[in-house]
Amino acid sequence: MNSQKVEMLRTINAIESLIRPSSDNIEMLVAALTAMGSGETIQCALERLSERAPKREISSAADLVRALYDIGEGVNALKISRLIAELKEGKTADATYGLYALVELLPHDAYMSFGFAVESAQARCGEHPDPQELLRDMDFDREGFRFGPAWQFWGERSAEAIKVARAAFIANLLYAAGLGDEPDYPEPLAD
């Protein structure tokens, strides 16, 4: 994928993030962790924070973790950090449930994340003759990812394309939910 196209896609993503209605990042974190089966952990952390630092502004997961450490709730901060890391990896059934909760809360952002996944796979492995076919052949639900026959286009590189697409989808979705950093396009594979 040429650098001009990558720059154009980054610009489009930046515009999307500006016009997208802002979401309450802590609400997204609560929803994801609750779906992961850790609702009690996040609720306990938020209660402790409201008791010990009621006026503290918390606008992101990172702010929450720092605030918990600051008020002496290092165990809860560590638990939440580990759960966020598990969500970012997206490899466990619990992480899948958490990601799916975000998909349900942010359907437009999930759709954009699918597009980012396709673009990232192409950036890494080369252009596909029909990117829309890749979109149609990729799915994510409570059971995880599914990639259809269109994803076999790259032959031996197909496994890499799928790996990159998964990571890109997760990173973009978490960024949209305010739970991760803005993702970058991957570097192309060397020939």
191 residues of the chain, pLDDT tens digit each = 555 655 655 565 555 554 444 447 889 999 999 999 999 999 999 999 999 988 888 888 888 999 999 999 999 999 999 999 999 999 999 999 999 999 999 999 999 999 999 999 999 999 999 999 999 999 999 999 999 999 999 999 999 999 999 999 999 999 999 898 899 888 888 76
Distance CA 166, CA 158 (A): 12
For the chain, how many residues are written?
191
Query: For position 18, what pLDDT does the model report?
Result: 47
- Apex 178 CA angle, 172 and 179, nearest 5: 80
Query: For position 4, what pLDDT does the model report?
Result: 62
Count how many Cα atoms sit within 13 Å of the Cα of residue 149 in the half-sphere of its side chain. Answer: 0
Distance CA 188, CA 121 (A): 9
Distance CA 44, CA 2 (A): 48
CA distances to 55, 113, 132, 138 from 153, in Å: 54, 21, 13, 13
Query: For position 188, what pLDDT does the model report?
Result: 85
Return the closest-CA partner of residue 185 out of 167, 159, 173, 160: 167
Query: For position 21, what pLDDT does the model report?
Result: 42
Query: For position 187, what pLDDT does the model report?
Result: 87
Query: For position 33, what pLDDT does the model report?
Result: 96
Query: For position 7, what pLDDT does the model report?
Result: 62
Q: What is the pTM of this model?
A: 0.85
CB contact at 8 A, 115 and 123: no
